[in-house]
Homo-oligomer: A and B are copies of this chain.
Amino acid sequence: MEELPTDDAADLVAELPAGDREAVLEEITDRADVERLLKYPEDSAGGLMTANVVSVREDATVAEAMEAIRRQSEEDESQLYQVYSVDGQGTLHGIVPIARLIVSAPTKLVRDVMEQPIVQVQPQQDQEEVARLMARYNVAAVPVVDEAGKLLGRITFDDVVDVVEAETTEDILKFGGMEALDAPYLKVAFGRMVRKRAGWLAALFLGEMLTATAMAFFQEEIAKAVILALFVPLIISSGGNSGSQASTLVIRAMALGEVNLRDWWRVIRREVATGLVLGMVLGAIGFLRITLWHTITGIYGEHYLLVALTVFGSLIGVVTFGTIAGSLLPFVLRRLSFDPASASAPFVATLVDVTGLVIYFTVASVILRGTLL
């Protein structure tokens, strides 16, 4: 425990049963530091940071800064990238990359070799945000300061790499419509794996049952014109696919910080236009397919042009609706403080399928009334 950086020590203590914590804490020389870290949630900047930083006054010389590094030799030096310069109150004023100390004349003042901290974070900030900032500014370490700007600790890129990897896995598995596993794929016990997958699958199944209800509602139309049933999978899957494209784009743009909640109206306007164009493209392909196929095989009956028109019109409606629903859903989830990444392809498809059926049969009843229906 004594050998560990304070952030790892705090994580370990947090995992102990409450009764044992006191005994362990009593043995730790950095007790105050470790206790301070225990206050922050594990997934916040405070939970990630280590309190062992090398800090020097601005009016110290480069030689004195190097001396400060030698004194703080308890930790592995390979994670030491920067020295922080602070004033009498401990407020962070600047950062000196370690190599710059070596390059600079020993009598120079820290003030003259330091640079402004381009990124600093507060302990309550979410770890994902910290990772995003470090990636954007390409920094190997970032100082953690309180509201008054007082230096509390630092986070190094190796702390953040695991966060990013875990979050990406979680997001990607959500995209595939399932909960994150807590172990590598081949190591998860069979029963556990099935339970993790069955939950979402059953939820989607229950949602998808509404399609059976919707289809039952149009049972009469299907009985009169069986030909309508033939295009049901084609139509609803197009809605699902366009919806999943739209939701994926918006979710990723949100994760990268390219799109925020307040952009929702801009995004939706854009997606409505996109959906209409995509719907017309698919509709035209569908129209061609039906008319061509009929010319060759004659299987779609005398009203094949009206059927082709029904498919054309439905696809425009379904694809536009799918695109709007898919792009809106991540905003709604985020507004309700859920993870937007839950708007997975299967979730969006399920949501869009029922509406797709309603659109299709409504368009059909308008276009085919008096002929097939």
Footprint of B on A, CB under 8 Å? 66, 69-70, 73, 77-78, 80-81, 97-103, 115, 134-135, 138-140, 157-158, 161-162, 164-165, 168-169, 171-173, 175-178, 181, 184-186, 190, 193-194, 197-198, 200-202, 204-206, 208-209, 211-212, 215-216, 219, 222-223, 226-227, 229-234, 236-238, 240-242, 244-245, 247-253, 256, 258-259, 263, 266-267, 270, 273-274, 277-278, 281-282, 285-286, 289, 299, 319, 344-346, 349-350, 353, 357
Q: How far is the CB of A268 from chain B (nearest CB, A)?
A: 12
Q: CB within 8 A of A289: which of B99, B197, B209, B230?
A: B209
Q: Of all chain B residues, which has the CB nearest A282? A: B205
Are B178 and A282 in contact, CB atoms less than 8 angstroms apart?
no
Which of B69, B169, B186, B345 is in CB contact (< 8 Å) with A259? B186
**Bound CA–CA A357/B230 (angstroms):** 11
Are B245 and A197 in touch, CB under 8 angstroms? yes
A100, closest chain B residue (CB): B77
**A226→B219 contact, CB < 8 A:** yes
Partner of A102 from B102, B134, B165 at Cβ < 8 Å: B102
- What are 13 of the A-B contact pairs (CB < 8 Å)? A165-B256, A172-B172, A173-B249, A175-B175, A175-B345, A186-B259, A201-B241, A202-B281, A204-B241, A209-B286, A215-B231, A232-B233, A237-B240
With A253-B186, A278-B197, A346-B240 as known contacts, state yes or no: A230 contacts B215, CB within 8 Å: yes
Q: Give the distance in Å from the alpha carbon of A164 to the alpha carbon of B157 in the complex.
A: 14
Cβ B248 vs Cβ A173 within 8 A: yes
Provide the residues of chain B in CB contact with A184, threshold 8 Å: 253, 256, 258
| Interface pairs A-B: 7 shortest CB-CB | A176-B248, A138-B158, A345-B345, A77-B99, A185-B253, A211-B233, A78-B97
B residues in contact with A234, CB < 8 Å:
205, 208-209, 211-212
Q: How far, in angstroms, from A319 to B194 measured CA to CA in the complex?
A: 13
Nearest-neighbour CB distance to chain B for A338, whole angstroms, equals 18
Given known A202-B285, A259-B186, A278-B197, contact A229–B222 (CB-CB < 8 A):
yes
CB < 8 Å neighbour of A100 from B78, B169, B212, B238: B78
Minimal beta-carbon separation of A28 from chain B (angstroms) = 23
- Which residues in B have their C-beta under 8 angstroms from that of A285? 202, 205-206
Given A140-B81, A346-B244, A236 contacting B238 (CB threshold 8 A): no
B238 close to A190 (CB less than 8 A): no
Q: CA A237 – CA B263 in complex, angstroms?
A: 32
Chain B, residue nearest A191 (CB): B277
In angstroms, Cα B200 to Cα A151, docked, is 50
Minimum CB distance partner of A80 in chain B: B99
Distance between Cα atoms of A173 and B253 in the complex (Å)? 10
Q: Which residues of B contact A273 (CB under 8 A)?
A: 190
Q: Is the CB of A197 within 8 A of B81?
A: no
The CA-CA distance from A184 to B94 in the complex, in Å, is 32
B219 touching A230, Cβ below 8 Å: yes
Most B CB contacts (10 A, CB to CB) among A103, A134, A201, A236 go to A201
